Amino acid sequence: MSQHSADPAPNSAVATVAKRRDWWRDAVIYQVYPRSFADSNGDGMGDLEGVRSRLPYLRDLGVDAVWLSPFYASPQADAGYDVADYRAVDPMFGNLLDADALIRDAHELGLRIIVDLVPNHSSDQHEWFRRAVAEGPGSPLRERYHFRPGTGKNGELPPNDWESIFGGPAWTRVEDGEWYLHLFAPEQPDFNWEHPAVGDEFRSILRFWLDMGVDGFRIDVAHGLVKAEGLPDLGSHDQLKLLGNDVMPFFDQDGVHEIYRQWREVLDEYAGERIFVAEAWTPTVERTANYVRPDELHQAFNFQYLSTDWDAKELRKVVDLTLEAMRPVGAPATWVLSNHDVTRHATRFANPPGLGTQIRLAGDRELGLRRARAATLLMLALPGSAYIYQGEELGLPDVVDLPDEVRQDPAYFRGAGQDGFRDGCRVPIPWTRTGSSYGFGSGGSWLPQPESWGELSIEAQTGAAGSTLELYRTALAVRREQPDLGAGDSVEWLKAPEGVLAFRRGEFVCVTNTGGESVTTPAHGRLLLASGEIAETDGETKIPADTTVWWTTA
């Protein structure tokens, strides 16, 4: 096979990165939401140069790779997940030279770069779609999307009963009377992956960015590309409750796997162990495992874990199910607590269970932070790869009191569907104690930041004993140093009181108290780290509520 990347210079950080085998099996990957990470030009919007300037912070934090949410040319109807040109950088974020410089700098620092890819749909401003609409019924370009005549006496009703994830019908009618499918916003028409031109185009897009030097792709809506033949009615009037819980004619169809087998062949042409990560909402972890078979993708997000309440019994159940599902296909488990689409876990855990992953309640801030810290140490102790969403290392809560007039989540503006409160986890992060945007940039921020942001900033927490930032830095360093942490496919559960999780991995032991009262357990060797204050006396350890402790018997 051809090798598209030049060999790195010996003894460089690039060489170290390239030569590390199976790095993705235990990688800690940090998600950057570019518009909210760092603003280099003072326009209130984060950009690629801003990300580039902050790469040393991410290296020092101790992560292995950086996943960048979309920065492609886009009208921004859904924060860049509506792509008009997959080979161009949107001017709000910079240009291709900025992307190239970011990738090069990251590699020099020993960091890998993973970029978002959005193959389920394009923007309605994509050249293909604009021409398809202009050319009218019968245009060959319409075959690259899902255009259909309507139903009803005069075609005035949608072709089927599918609903948009953002609420309302999943179909929009154009002036000539035909309808097009969009599982998300009307500005995001779905591609027809049965058409060979679509597959050809995306294999070309993969090569474009691989030639730029990226180390992998996070695949948006990886489960949605193929629709059931004939686009049959779902026959349900409460479709959103079925998402991720049942088989649906537009999600998790078996045909997606042939697409990813073809993509894997492209990826394997390139040196340096490039990877694919699937955003795949499926009914079971066993279905998720189908995406990470040896000839398909490398990782798939573990949404079952993200959606689990702070409860020892439920957490143990999803850990066991995940490890059991991944073991037969030889893929690593992934663990994640927050991302750009859900309420941050510091707020989620501050509220009663059962509210879902989008919450508009502040909850008990102190309780949420305590649980978030404990949940982080638990997550980082589990076998496999872990994902960190920007700002969670600061213990940031969701901003639940954003004025309605500043909200930009498209789901918020539709009458039904999701709550539309994703803006709360996308508020730009604070770097300094003071300033117009707490160091985010010199010109304010595109979403308003709370007054409390300064005391949660990187400046305020750096070097502060007991701060959440220093907990993350220490945890990631310990995780890298301990030979029994990182990659693996099993844990040895230990006997523990009700409400407590305890497991061993070789000479490493993790104990998490999810209950509301302190518990006393044996001290399992030398203390490595704890998410809160503990007391050790006479070979026993008193662990407060909502606390995780790490030991080693080495």
What is the set of active-site residues?
220, 269
DSSP 457: S
Burial annotation 352-371 (CB, 10 A radius, 16+ → b, else e): eeeeebbbbeebeeebbbbb
Q: Which of 393, 523, 340 is nearest to 62 (CA)?
A: 393
Rounded Cα distance between 470 and 457, Å, is 12
State the Cα–Cα distance between residues 214 and 235, nearest whole angstrom.
Answer: 42
Nearest to 263 by CA among 213, 209, 303: 209
Query: Cβ of 101: how many Cβ atoms within 10 Å?
Result: 14
Helix (H) or strand (E) holding 421: none
CB 63 within 8 A of CB 388: yes
Q: Give the pairing of strands 112-117 and 216-219.
A: parallel
Three-class SS state of 512: strand
Query: At a CB cut-off of 8 Å and minimum separation 6, what does 373 contact?
Result: 395, 468, 471, 531, 532, 548
Q: Which two tokens stand for residue 431?
A: 């770097």
What helix, strand, coil percent values describe the chain, rounded to 5?
A: 30, 15, 50
The span from the CA of 473 to the CA of 463, in Å, is 10
CA distance 251 to 221: 9
In sequence order, the 6+-apart residues with CB closer than 8 A to the CB of 446 are: 35, 36, 44, 45, 428
Range 15-22 contact pairs with CB under 8 angstroms and sequence separation of 24 or more = 16/110, 17/107, 17/110, 17/111, 17/112, 17/272, 18/271, 18/272, 18/273, 20/273, 21/273, 22/273, 22/487
Q: Which residues contact 305 (CB under 8 A, 6 or more apart)?
A: 315, 318, 319, 322, 335, 336
Query: For residues 386 and 334, is the Cβ–Cβ distance under 8 A?
Result: yes
Helix, strand, or coil here: 69?
A: coil
